[in-house]
Structure 1
C-alpha cells in the first residue's frame, strides 16, 4: 500500500499527489512513469513522474480527471492509500548537454515536461520552455518551469493569458524568427505533439515526443501500448515512452487511444450510479 501524504488541486480537474514510495524515489529518472491501481478491482493507469525525493522517500504525480479511474483518484484524500504503484518504468530521457533545447508542454503534459526542463537546465543547456492550455484556469506549473528556463513562452487557446494560439504556433514563430534549436521535446495531447513534429520536420531539428498510449502491465507483456515508429512496431512502456517524433505514426496512435471510448463512457455512467 502506498500512502498519499499530500494532495493539492492545481485547477478544477487536475490534482498533484505526493505519495510515499521510497524504492521508486531511489531509482526515478526524468521521463519515466509509474502504473497505479487504486484498489483490487481498479484499472491500471500510467502516470508520468512529476517529481521525487530520495531524502523523503516520496514521488509526486499529477493527474487529470479524464475518465472513471482518474475521477476516483481525484476523490482520494491525504491519508488515503493506493493499492499499487509500480515503477519507475520506461527508459529515462536522454539528458545531456545539447546546446539550445526547447521543451514544449501542453495541458497536463506541462507537469510531465517539468522534470526534463529542470534536468536539461542542470546539464548546462540553454532551455526555452513553451507551455500552453485551453484557457488560463487550466494552466499549471508556470512558475516551477520558469525557475529552470532561460526563456518561457505561454499560450492559451482562447487568449485569456499569454499569447493566443497553440504551443506549436509559438514554436514556429521562434524558428521562423531565426532561433536555432538543437533539440525539441514535446509532451502533451497527441494532436499537439504531431503539430510540433510538423513544425520542426522541415528544419531537420531533432524532435522527441513522449507518447501516451493505453497501457496495462507496463512491462511489454500485453502489447496494449504498441505504437508505430519508423514503420516498425514499438512498445511505449519498454522501448519508450520517448521516440523520434518525426518517425511516429500519430494518426494510428490517436486511433488506438479512441478504441475504448464506449467502455469508458459506460464506466463513468456506472461510477455515477454508485455515487
Structure 2
C-alpha cells in the first residue's frame, strides 16, 4: 500500500495527489509515469509523475475525473492507501541544451509538460511555455509553470482567461513576431497535439509529444497501448511515452481512444449513481 499524504482539487474535476513512494521518487526522471491500481478489482491506469521529492520520498500525480478509476481516486480521502503503484515507467525525456525551447500544454496536459519545462530550464535552455485550456475553470499549474519558464503565454478557447484562441494561434503569433524555437514539446488532447505538430513541421521545429494511450500491464505484453509512429507499430509503455510528433498517426490513435472513452464515461456514470455523496469513499469497491 502507498499512502495518500495530501490531496487538493486544483480545477474542475482535476485533483493533485501526493503519494508516499520513496523508491520511485529517487529514480523518477521527467517524462516518466506510473501505473496505479486502487483496489483489488480495479483497473490499471497510467498517470504521469508531475513532480517528485526524493527527500520526502513522495511523488505527485494529477488526474482528471473521466472514468470510474479517476473518479474513485478523486474521492479517496487522505491517509487511504493505493493498492498497487508501479514505476517509474517509460523512457525519460531526452533533456539537452537545445537553445530556445517551447513547451506547449493543453488542459490536463499541463501536468506532464511541467517537469519537462523544469528539466529544459535546468539544462540551460530558454523556455517559453504556451498553456491552453477550454475555459478558466480548467486551468492548472500556472504558478508552477511561471517558476520554470522564461515566458508564459496563456490562452483559453472561450477567452475567459488570457488570449482567446488555441495554443497554435499563440505559437504562430510568436514566430510571426520574430521568436525562434530550436525544439518543441507538446502534451495535451490528441487534436491539440495533431494541430501543433502540423504547424511545427511547417516551421521546421523538431517536436516531441507524450501519448496517453490505454495501458494494462505497462510492459508491452498486452499491446493495448500500441501506436503507429513512422509507419511502424510502437508500444507507448515501453517505447514511449514520448515520440517524434511529426511521425505519429494521430488519426488512428484518436479513433482507438474514442472507443474506450465511451466505456469510461459509462463506468463513471454508474459509479456516481451508486455513490451519491462525492466526498465519500465508495462503500463497496465494485
Same fold (TM over 0.5): yes
Deviation by residue 1:165-214 (Cα, 9 ceiling, x = unmatched): 01111111112222111101001110010110011111211011011111
Alpha-carbon distance between aligned partners in 1 of 2:23 and 2:270, rounded to the nearest angstrom: 35
Q: Counterparts of 1:161-180 in structure 2 under 5 Å?
A: 161-180=161-180
Give 1:126 shift.
Answer: 0.4
User: Greater relative contact order (Cα 8 A, min sep 6): structure 1 or 2?
Assistant: 2
Other-structure match for 2:78: 78
Secondary structure in 1 matching 2:259: coil
Give 1:266 shift.
Answer: 3.5
Alpha-carbon distance between aligned partners in 1 of 2:170 and 2:199, rounded to the nearest angstrom: 10
Other-structure match for 1:198: 198
Q: Counterparts of 1:216-255 in structure 2 under 5 Å?
A: 216-255=216-255
Alpha-carbon distance between aligned partners in 1 of 2:183 and 2:273, rounded to the nearest angstrom: 48
Q: Is the 8 Å Cα contact of residues 50 and 114 (structure 2) preserved in structure 1?
A: yes
Secondary structure in 2 matching 1:233: strand
Q: In the alignment, is residue 271 of structure 1 matched against residue 255 of structure 2?
A: no
Question: Runs of 5+ in structure 2 lacking a partner?
Answer: 276-286
Secondary structure in 2 matching 1:258: helix
Alpha-carbon distance between aligned partners in 1 of 2:260 and 2:239, rounded to the nearest angstrom: 23
Deviation by residue 1:61-120 (Cα, 9 ceiling, x = unmatched): 000001111111100111111101100000000001000000000001101110111110
Alpha-carbon distance between aligned partners in 2 of 1:18 and 1:246, rounded to the nearest angstrom: 34
Give 1:268 shift.
Answer: 2.5
Q: Is the 8 Å Cα contact of residues 36 and 45 (structure 2) preserved in structure 1?
A: yes
Deviation by residue 1:137-177 (Cα, 9 ceiling, x = unmatched): 11110111101111110001100110000111111111222
Secondary structure in 2 matching 1:52: strand
Q: Counterparts of 1:149-168 in structure 2 under 5 Å?
A: 149-168=149-168
Q: Counterparts of 1:1-80 in structure 2 under 5 Å?
A: 1-80=1-80
Alpha-carbon distance between aligned partners in 2 of 1:168 and 1:142, rounded to the nearest angstrom: 19
Question: Runs of 5+ in structure 1 lacking a partner?
Answer: none
Q: Is the 8 Å Cα contact of residues 99 and 126 (structure 2) preserved in structure 1?
A: yes
Give 1:12 shift.
Answer: 2.3
Other-structure match for 2:92: 92
Alpha-carbon distance between aligned partners in 2 of 1:263 and 1:110, rounded to the nearest angstrom: 25
Alpha-carbon distance between aligned partners in 1 of 2:224 and 2:191, rounded to the nearest angstrom: 20
Secondary structure in 2 matching 1:264: helix
Alpha-carbon distance between aligned partners in 2 of 1:156 and 1:104, rounded to the nearest angstrom: 13
Secondary structure in 1 matching 2:246: coil
Over 3 Å counting, the alpha-carbon distance change for 1:176 and 1:58 in structure 2 is: same
Q: Cα RMSD over matched residues?
A: 1.0
Q: Is the 8 Å Cα contact of residues 90 and 241 (structure 2) preserved in structure 1?
A: yes
Other-structure match for 2:280: none
Alpha-carbon distance between aligned partners in 1 of 2:7 and 2:240, rounded to the nearest angstrom: 29
Other-structure match for 1:125: 125
Alpha-carbon distance between aligned partners in 2 of 1:212 and 1:188, rounded to the nearest angstrom: 9
Other-structure match for 2:145: 145
